[in-house]
Amino acid sequence: MSALSRALSAEWLKLRGTLALWLCGVAPAVVVAVYVLQMTVVRLPADRPPPAPAEAWLAFAQSTLALWAFLMVPLFVTLQAALLAGQEHANQQWKHLLALPVPRAVHYLAKLLALAGLLVLAQLAMLALLPLGGWLLALLRPGFGIAGPAPWSLLLEKLALVTAASLLLVALHTFIAVRWRSFTVAVGVGMGATVMGFLIGQSARFGPWFPWSLPVQAVAKADPASVVAFSLAGALLAGLAGLWAFQRREAD
């Protein structure tokens, strides 16, 4: 077993039963529940004909995914990165890890890949929960027109795009959370940047390039290829820069 494989196995053991793992299911569940609740209290015009099931599913999926990508994904990555790094910061475990006879890069890559893995788990949870939310809404409010099977191909495509567009965030927040011991700093940067994204994300000029706006840009754009390409390139550069800095840090 390679050093990286052992480090990833150790990360998994540390994650079992923790808040970080639970958040992979809780975060998407909250988004779906909030949107379903919102739709159940909306008043529909009495003379409004129900839309076609395909149109109703599309509207529900797009709105839920927009809320997920715009607000929850940046906050999810922020908190998960802080929790992952906090496992070592809290007990000063970095001294122990960096003293082990393995390349330093292994520890940083393990945190980076663990965060990416948690993001993928959350996206898979959303893939399962969003259709459940749609079927629940169909039972509670038939007037919305949701019926039949969920648009699985659309959901797979959009969630894959959101995941790819979030990789730059994964690289940035891994660096921030590992570099600074303070949980407040790691979370504060992400929360502040997410709030800024409410304004910057609406800018046609800057929105497609602001890292915390990239996930929702991938959902909203008709052609998200440039957003995904920028995220992947940025993730590679940020990951290499973070790795370079980590290899030169002093254990604290």
pLDDT tens profile 193-222: 998 888 887 777 887 889 999 999 999 876
Q: Is 25 domain-assigned?
A: yes
Percent pLDDT > 90 in the chain is 57
pLDDT at 197: 85
Domain count, the chain: 1
Range of the domain at 113: 3-36+50-247
For residue 139, pLDDT over 80 is answered with: yes
Q: What is the DSSP letter of 205?
A: T
For residue 47, pLDDT over 70 is answered with: no
Q: Is 43 domain-assigned?
A: no
Q: Is 252 domain-assigned?
A: no
What is the distance between the alpha carbons of residues 228 and 218, in angstroms, rounded to a whole number? 7
- At 16-35, the pLDDT tens digits run 878 889 999 999 999 999 99
183-200 vs 167-179: helix axis angle to the nearest 10? 150
Among 100-104, 126-130, 222-226, the range scoring the smallest mean pLDDT is 100-104
Q: Is 45 domain-assigned?
A: no
What would the mean pLDDT of 174-194 be, rounded to a whole number? 90
φ and ψ at 102, to 5 degrees?
-135, 155
Give the helix/strand (H/E) hosting 146. none
The string of DSSP codes covering 63-99 is HHHHHIIIIIHHHHHHHHHHHHHHHHHHTTHHHHHHH
Contact criterion met (CB below 8 Å) for 26 and 55: no
Q: Is 182 domain-assigned?
A: yes
Percent of the chain as helix, strand, coil, to the nearest 5: 80, 0, 20
Residue keyed to tokens 């910057």: 200
What would the mean pLDDT of 59-85 be, rounded to a whole number? 94
What is the distance between the alpha carbons of residues 217 and 209, in angstroms, rounded to a whole number? 9
Residue keyed to tokens 């940035």: 172
Q: Is 44 domain-assigned?
A: no
Percent pLDDT > 70 in the chain is 92
Q: Is 41 domain-assigned?
A: no
What would the mean pLDDT of 125-143 be, rounded to a whole number? 94
Q: Is 9 domain-assigned?
A: yes
CB count within 10 Å of CB 9 equals: 12
For residue 39, pLDDT over 60 is answered with: yes
